[in-house]
Amino acid sequence: MTPSPAPNTARLDRLSALLLAAAPRVEMGAASGQPNSLSVSLLANPGAAPHSLTVAHGPHSGAAGTPSPTPAVVMQVHLDGPAAPMLMREFAQPMELPLAGTDGALAQAVQLLCNELAAPRCGQPAMLASAGNMLFIGLLRHLVAQPQTRQGLFAGLSDPRIAVALVAMHEQPHTAWSLESLAERAGMSRTAFATRFKDAMGTPPGKYLAQLRLQIAQRAVQSGKGLKGAARASGYKDVSALSRALGRARSPAGGVATTGATMNPSL
């Protein structure tokens, strides 16, 4: 069978749906101990512009946990949405990124932050929050363009074919996706798509979709929507199916249940 042509990804927005599901919220200052929060720091030599950026689950530290110089700028990115755990996993290991050659929006946000902190004016908190959001989005753009690991969410989004399927899942998690429909989106055969997805993401497409749906359902229940609304938003066929999935997630094994979600078993 002749392989399908690669999908046109020139205008594919790889991040908006993920950002909507992660719901980042920026706060300037040191770590406050909130769950699902990333500490983002800009490092600079005295009297010089920042030369690198670090991202960690806790306060900035050097390689292997050794102390490092005091950062010039520190901010917290609180992830309040259902996709927070997925994004947090991408930074399970502290990351230090040289700023030279990074995305232009990231460089502009760094400059804006530094200028505002050097000469504060009225409206500074709102300006800093806006610049912090720009910095975080610029960071994610850079990591999609240049993943720092061979597997994971950024590696998957950097692959033109896999990115099409990921964006579809992020934008429409409640849709009854099957392996065939996702492979068709990616312009690949079922087998080739399943293999390439697992190679890039480190998990099969069905398991990734099940994790995403479960996290959406859990957050919906926590926000008071009720089981019926949570099932509708996340793609479970009924309240009973969602209740079973939530029960399995709370069990000591902690497995991700796929039974009952509206997906093709071939996933």
Counting residues of the chain whose pLDDT is more than 90, the rounded percentage is: 55
Alpha carbon separation from 250 to 139, 154, 245 (Å, rounded): 33, 28, 9
User: What contacts 232, CB < 8 A, 6 or more positions away?
Assistant: 174
pLDDT digits (tens, 9 = 90+) for 177-214: 999 999 999 999 999 999 999 999 999 999 999 999 99
- Mean pLDDT of the 240-262 span: 67
Alpha carbon separation from 202 to 17, 155, 199, 208, 230 (Å, rounded): 21, 10, 6, 9, 27
Residue 78 bridge partners (DSSP): 25, 37
Q: What does pTM read for this prediction?
A: 0.84
pLDDT of residue 266: 45
- Mean pLDDT of the 30-53 span: 86
User: What contacts 175, CB < 8 A, 6 or more positions away?
Assistant: 168, 235, 262
Burial 55-79 (b: 16+ CB within 10 A, else e): bbeeebeeeeeeebeebbbbbbbbb
CB 25 within 8 A of CB 87: no
Distance, CA of 31 to chain centre? 20
Counting residues of the chain whose pLDDT is more than 70, the rounded percentage is: 85
DSSP state of 237: S
pLDDT digits (tens, 9 = 90+) for 97-130: 999 988 888 999 999 998 888 888 899 989 999 9
Record the tokens describing residue 120, joined without a space.
């504060």
> For residue 162, how many other CB atoms are within 10 A of its CB?
23
Kind of pairing between the strands at 24-28 and 73-79: antiparallel
Residue 163, pLDDT above cutoff 90: yes
SS3 172: coil
Contacts of range 123-126, beta carbons closer than 8 Å, 24 or more positions apart: 125/28
pLDDT of residue 265: 42
* pLDDT greater at residue 62 or residue 25: 25
- Mean pLDDT of the 80-95 span: 93
pLDDT of residue 267: 57
Mean pLDDT of all residues in the chain? 85
pLDDT of residue 223: 82
pLDDT band for position 153 (cuts 50, 70, 90): very high
pLDDT of residue 93: 92
Q: What is the CATH number of domain 159-250?
A: 1.10.10.60
pLDDT of residue 86: 92
- Mean pLDDT of the 51-71 span: 69
- Residues of each domain in the chain carrying CATH 1.10.10.60: 159-250
Greatest C-alpha distance within the chain: 64
